[in-house]
Structure 1
Amino acid sequence: MDVLETKLKDVYILEPQVFGDDRGWFMESWSKRKMENAGLFVDFVQDNQSYSAQKGTLRGLHYQLNPMCQAKLLRATRGTIFDVAVDIRKGSPQFGQWVGVELSAENKRQLFIPRGFAHGFITLTDDVEVQYKADNYYAPECDGNICWNDSDIGIAWPIDPVILSAKDQKAPTLKERMATSLNFVYGE
């Protein structure tokens, strides 16, 4: 497994070794030993999967507050997405900055997003499946979101979204969220 740094400290692209022949291919999608050898110590406790039928479906920007912050390891197992992480850790020198990476079933890349980051993705093809591991359980009372097109963050989405959930359509900006949330505290 190759671990590639991104422009945001602590966010990494993971490229697994893929072994193929005329029958197809094989890869390890997760290895605790390889992650720890790369300096990433995460105890994943939950696997999630989503399906998006149409190109242009945008999910995000989502996060969980302490004490239920989540680190995530994401991959597209069908289709292609543009996956985004935004640093929302108070006091971080890269607060409000983002990184985006194309993940696809073909490139088999994965994105590791540590605690303290908001996450979202847009589908670049129809019929997309995304799978991800989380190091903390989902807790509805700690769930939050930020506006996908917050001008202060300035994410350069590669296409305009076609489909947003009602929740994501009403999401506040990062500044609004910070001003109205008394528990806007994130993991390190």
Structure 2
Amino acid sequence: MKFIKQKIKNLFLIKPSPFKDERGIFRRNFCSQLLKKNKLNGIIKQANISENFKKFTLRGFHYQKHPYGEDKTLCCIKGEIYNVTIDLRKNSKTYKQWKGFYLNDKNRNLVHVPKGCANAFLTLKDDTIIHYYCSQKYKPEAEKGIRYNDNEFKIKWPKKPKIISEKDMSHKDYED
């Protein structure tokens, strides 16, 4: 696995090193030792799968308030997404900046999202499946969100979302 640092501190694009032979392809999808080697949290307290039936479904932006902030490592195991991470750490040099990645079942890339950042994705194909590992269990009382089109961030989505939950659309404008 190759960890590619991004401008946002502790945000990494992770490129796997798949092994291919006549049987198919094998790849490591998570390695706590390599995360620790890159000075990242390698603890998993929860793993989630997001199955999305239709393209242009948007999920997010989601994050959890301190002390329940969570690191997430996610990949697209079927289909394709455009994944966006926003840095919400007020003491960060990249506070309020965002970074987007295309993740799909062809490039097999992963994204490691550090705690203190909000994350969202837009599906670009029908029947898209996302798998992600979290360093913290889900705590409903700590859950926070940002609307996908909040003017504070000016996210450039590759397509207009068509399906968004009422909950994700109801987030107020972001405030420091």
Could you say which TM-score interval applies, normalised by the shorter chain?
A: over 0.9
C-alpha distance in structure 1 between counterparts of 2:6 and 2:100, whole Å: 9
Matched residue, 2:107: 107
Residue of structure 1 in register with 2:80 after alignment:
80
SS, match of residue 147 in structure 2:
coil
Q: CA-to-partner distance for each residue in 1:119-177, whole Å, 9 max, x for gaps?
A: 100001110100100001100000111111112201111100000000011111212xx
Separation in structure 1 between the aligned mates of residue 5 and residue 173 of structure 2, nearest angstrom: 27
| 2:91 corresponding residue in structure 1 | 91
TM-score under structure 1 length normalisation: 0.90
Residue equivalent to 1:116: 116
- Match in the other structure for 2:137: 137
In structure 2, how many angstroms separate the alpha carbons of the residues matched to 1:51 and 1:136?
A: 21
The equivalent residue for 1:166 is 166
Q: SS in structure 2 opposite 1:174?
A: coil
Amino acid at match of 1:68: Y
The 8 Å contact of residues 33 and 42 in structure 2, kept in 1 or not, is answered as no
CA drift of 1:112 comes to 0.2
Stretches of structure 2 that go unaligned for 5 or more consecutive residues are: none
CA-CA distance at 1:24 after TM superposition: 0.8
Deviation, structure 1 residue 34: 2.0
* Separation in structure 1 between the aligned mates of residue 52 and residue 38 of structure 2, nearest angstrom: 32
Q: 1:126 maps to which residue?
A: 126
State how far apart, in whole Å, the 2-side matches of 1:159 and 1:8 are. 24
Distance 1:90 1:33 in 2: 29
Instruction: Name the TM-score, length of structure 2 as normaliser.
Output: 0.96
Aligned residue in 1 for 2:18 = 18
Deviations 1:11-50 (A, max 9, x none): 0001111000222100111112222223323211110111
One-letter code of the match for 2:4? Answer: L
Question: Identity of counterpart residues, as a percentage?
Answer: 34
Partner of 2:33: 33
The answer to whether the aligner puts 1:58 opposite 2:69 as a matched pair is no
Q: Which consecutive residues of structure 1, in runs of 5 or more, have no partner in the other structure? A: 179-188
